[in-house]
Amino acid sequence: MKPGEFAGKTAVITGAGRGIGEALAKTLCREGMHVVAGDIKKESVERWKESFPEQEILAVSCDVTKAEDCEALVQTALDRFGQLDYVISNAGILHSGAVDEIDPAVWKQVIEVNLYGTFHMIRAAAPVMKAQRHGVIVSMNSKSGKKGSYKSSAYAASKFGALGLVQSAALELAEYQVRVNAICPGNLMDSPLWTEGENALGIQYARNRGITTEECRAMYDRQVPLGRTCRYEDISNVLLFLLSDDSGYITGQALNVTGGFEMR
């Protein structure tokens, strides 16, 4: 990546209020980009954006299940910064439950956020990027987009679907020099999804197995060939590569960032 390559570029990111989205949005800020940070909880973006007083970060209320919210998010970037260089479709949720036990309404909600949400963001960005004849879209996927997930069928189905969407959009947008890729991280066991609240995955999974959260953490770490949990910087490094011109010949790909856990 060239020094200063991202300065003054405009990036839109969803689910920027906490976890991976927050970490990635901060990386985009540090690289000098104009960041339009959407989240269903706008106040959670406002909480962290104070730590970048020098920079104009737009916190926008955006529910990715609503096509019009995603269109408005893109329009906010255009109105304020006049261009749309990068879109990171990151917002996602996970509800687990056996296929014969999970409430169909909950199953549908996961599909609506993870799959429709990605579609709505790509749909909103595509006409703008086609007209510009440049742009990069990155979708936050998961290792569960490559392999089924025990008692998380809705999550895996949504992520498998999102990879089909990424590949199809990459085919459609290639002639406009717009690239579309996905990142498939492993488990980020220090992220709030795993650690915060009563329903944190780390607590749920430990409870299901009758072990402590520390034992659960060690068990997951042992499953990873590189022997540790995935970290935010593992993902942000790959994100910057995918946004940069260094990856200019890469489109329609789903890059595993799993410490060797997933190799397909």
Q: Which residues bind ligand NAD (CB under 6 A)?
A: 14-15, 17-21, 39-41, 44, 62-65, 90-93, 113, 117, 140, 142, 185, 187-188, 191-194
Catalytic residue of the set 86, 155, 205, 220:
155
Strand duo 135-140 + 86-89: pairing? parallel
Residue 84 is which amino acid? L
The yes-or-no answer on residue 150 being catalytic is: no
Q: What residues does 97 pair with on adjacent strands?
A: 152
Alpha helices in 37-93 (DSSP H): 42-49, 67-81
Say if CB 248 and CB 174 are below 8 A apart. Answer: no
d(CA 236, CA 11): 14
* C-beta closer to ligand NAD: residue 20 or 216: 20
174: region left, alpha or beta (phi > 0 left; psi from -120 to 50 alpha) = alpha
d(CA 182, CA 116): 15
Residue 233 is which amino acid? E
Determine whether 8 is exposed, middle or buried from the number of CB atoms within 10 Å of its CB (0-12, 13-18, 19+): exposed
* C-beta closer to ligand NAD: residue 181 or 187: 187
Which of 213, 199, 257, 205 lies closest to 232 in space, CA to CA? Answer: 257
d(CA 12, CA 110): 22
d(CA 74, CA 33): 15
* C-beta closer to ligand NAD: residue 135 or 185: 185
* C-beta closer to ligand NAD: residue 130 or 151: 151
Q: Three-state SS for 64?
A: coil
* C-beta closer to ligand NAD: residue 111 or 130: 111
d(CA 172, CA 130): 10
- The catalytic residue positions are 155
